[in-house]
Amino acid sequence: MRLLPAFFVAAATLYGQAPPLDFLNHNQPVLDAHNCYPYEGKWADRIERALKTGRPVGIEQDIAWYADPKTGAGRAVVSRLFL
C-alpha cells in the first residue's frame, strides 16, 4: 500500500514539468515594441524600426470602447495614438 502514494507522487512530478517552448517562435526572442508610437511629433520612425528588425514583433495597442452619442452604436477604437 505504500507503493501507491509513491507512484502518485512520482507521476505528479513528471506531469508537473513545464512543456518545451520550441513551438513558440523556436525559442527565439520576440521583440516587444511597447510604447513605440510617435509622441508629441518625436520618434516618428519607432514602428518602422521595430518592424525592420526581422524578428516577430508585438506592438502595444491601447483599445477602448467608444459609443457614438448620436446613435448609441459602439465599436472598439485605438485610444492612444499620438501623432
Residue range 40-55, pLDDT digits in tens: 888 888 888 888 988 7
Higher-scoring residue by pLDDT: 80, 44: 44
φ/ψ of 77, rounded to 5, equals -135, 155
Q: Where are the beta strands (DSSP E) in the chain?
A: 31-33, 57-59, 63-67, 74-78
- Predicted TM-score (pTM) of the model is 0.46
Higher-scoring residue by pLDDT: 2, 75: 75
Which alpha helices (H) appear in 16-68, and where do they start and end? 46-51
Quote the CA–CA distance of 32 and 35 in Å, as a whole number. 9
How many other CB atoms are there within 10 angstroms of residue 37's CB atom? Answer: 19
What are the extents of the domains in the chain? Answer: 3-78
